[in-house]
A = this chain, B = another copy of it.
């Protein structure tokens, strides 16, 4: 197994040295290029996307309508099969309570815990997938590893295009004494649709997840600015390093299989167009974005953001954000024009410009751009 730089924190106790996305920056190299000559497209299995955007499966930013709008804009919207839309026939009153609770700041975690205590209904899963499919865009739905065996059949039966099995921390080898653990490799082998799975945090886990037959692996353990996985669990994933390690696993797996390319999708505190560019520069094929989409006028929670882990009944690991005012339509958030300079609108126009100003034509080439630590 390849080894990264290590530090001896104490006698004979070693730690790897990891770098976060905001420690790494892109350095322009000697060539520049016209922005019109740049392509930001990528493809996973038979599905092609004009922008390397996979949405977070957070109810705060993805309802069926926005999933479809993201698809029409060239990205991949992911609906949560364990979210408000499969717990409630009409989630509108729930969204309203959360928005009202945001009048005084961030809605309390206890409110999220309460509204997510409502059970998931299989028939609502069927209905939601159908709505996505009927729109004509590529449909994707997320289930948690814990509930995959119970809920995935309904998702698949409804004809979803892509299945996303995502938890905060996922491994290819879940050990249990209760005897009914999900065997990812067997499960995926039996499916007709491509599967994206994660999050993973290191080379080893990423490689093992690739070996399950997944078409994509999510790298990162889901941190956004409101995430508290560090304070609660002591777990932290320096994302630039995790992406680069997963990209190394991708190369090694490509070699080991003689040509299977598994996509690396970066997830975690990617909240500006600069962070999108850096994640791809470190080796990701696409980024999973949640928080940045809450600034679109279409965002179902009206500018409030929460990650699904914030609703955990016993151990929430993140909070909800206060609401922000919309910065523009989804189209403007993704493609501009930007009316402010904070990196929160024109996310993919900015990416194309960074690629152009560093001389790259497509995302695969751009993964080789020069990087600098510091500054």
Contact = CB atoms under 8 A, between A and B. Distances in A.
Nearest to A232: B343
Best-surrounded residue of A9, A203, A232 (most CB of chain B within 10 A) = A9
B341 A317 contact: yes
Given A10-B4, A25-B236, A109-B341, A370 B16 contact: yes
A281 to B, nearest CB: 7
B374 A20 contact: yes
A251 B10 CA distance: 13
Interface stretch (A52-60, A69-77, A91-99, A165-173): A165-173
B10 A346 contact: no
Contacts of A163: none
A5 interface: yes
B175 A37 contact: yes
Contacts of A326: none
B25 A372 contact: no
Best-surrounded residue of A228, A310, A372 (most CB of chain B within 10 A) = A372
Interface stretch (A135-143, A253-261, A270-278): A270-278
A292 to B, nearest CB: 12
A319 B175 CA distance: 46
Contact of A5 (B8, B171, B230, B283): B8
Given A30-B171, A173-B30, A175-B34, A341 B359 contact: no
A130 interface: no
B15 A24 contact: yes
A183 to B, nearest CB: 13
Best-surrounded residue of A36, A171, A341 (most CB of chain B within 10 A) = A341
Contacts of A162: none
B234 A32 contact: no
Given A24-B9, A204-B29, A342-B228, A237 B310 contact: no
A372 to B, nearest CB: 4
Nearest to A32: B171
A3 to B, nearest CB: 8
A346 B5 CA distance: 34
Interface stretch (A79-87, A185-193, A239-247, A294-302): A239-247
A370 B235 CA distance: 10
A124 interface: no
B169 A343 contact: no
A46 interface: no
Given A12-B248, A16-B370, A228-B342, A354 B34 contact: no
A73 to B, nearest CB: 17
A373 interface: yes
Contacts of A342: 228, 231-232
Nearest to A236: B25
A372 B16 contact: yes
Nearest to A25: B236
Nearest to A34: B176
A141 to B, nearest CB: 22
Given A272-B232, A274-B231, A318 B337 contact: no
17 contacts: A2-B12, A4-B10, A10-B19, A10-B282, A15-B373, A18-B372, A25-B235, A25-B236, A26-B234, A27-B202, A28-B201, A28-B221, A34-B175, A108-B339, A113-B339, A231-B342, A236-B375
Given A15-B373, A241-B372, 12 more contacts: A9-B373, A10-B241, A11-B245, A30-B173, A30-B208, A31-B171, A31-B173, A32-B173, A109-B339, A232-B272, A237-B375, A319-B340
